[in-house]
Each structure stands twice: as C-alpha cells, then as structure tokens.
Structure 1
Amino acid sequence: MADGGGSPTQIADEISIERMRNAGVGITTTNQLMAELATDWANTTGQTIQSIMYEEILKPLVEG
C-alpha cells in the first residue's frame, strides 16, 4: 500500500513504491482500500466506514 511505506522523504517513498510494484504488489491507498471494503455506502458497514473516513481524513483537512 502506498500509505504503508513510512519513508522519511518523498524520494524514499517513490523508490519504495517502485520496488513494491516491481515485486508484484498492488499499489493502492488507505482511502481506496476502505472504499472497496465498504462495497455499499447505504448499509451499516458502509456508513461506519464513511464516518471513519470523514472523521480521520476529511475533517482534519477541512478544519486545518
């Protein structure tokens, strides 16, 4: 996962992601993975995931 590298610099992130990609890893982001797990935003699981994504990801970006 692109979010899972934990590299201290952008170049280190890029190198790590390229190495993972070359090893056959499917590169994605946490947001995309959560959206795939939700499958349906209308059911209880989807609504819970949507709340988590808002509180943990979107809200801090909006409120700065």
Structure 2
Amino acid sequence: MKTKKTKLDLLLEVLSDGEWHWGNELAVKVGWRFGDPVDKARDRGYPVKTERVGLQHRYRLPKF
C-alpha cells in the first residue's frame, strides 16, 4: 500500500539538495501553507535556514 507524502516529507525532499529555494517554489511543491512544515522540520532538529531578499524569503537546508 502506497502512503501519501506529508507536507513535511515534501519540504525535506525539496530542501535536501542544500540549495536556496524561494517561497513561491515551496508554495507550489509543498503547498501554500508551507510555514507549518518549516516549523515542524525545525522542531525535529532540521536546521532550515531562512533569508529575506527584498520582500521575498528563501529557504535552505544545509548539507551535512
């Protein structure tokens, strides 16, 4: 039986490359309310970085 990926799973999948990703990209790939999965990732120990560039934000998960 195939299980559906959670928004947290989708977020970690996108950020796993270690590159910066803009909020609008995460909105498309994770869902418009991607802030909650970002918070959950941080709560579980993933060091998701956020950077503001002008009026937009971008996110990344540093590679270890």
Q: What is the TM-score normalised by the length of structure 1?
A: 0.28
The structure with the greater share of residues assigned to helix is 1
Task: Compare relative contact order (CA 8 Å, sep 6+) and give the higher one, 1 or 2.
Answer: 2
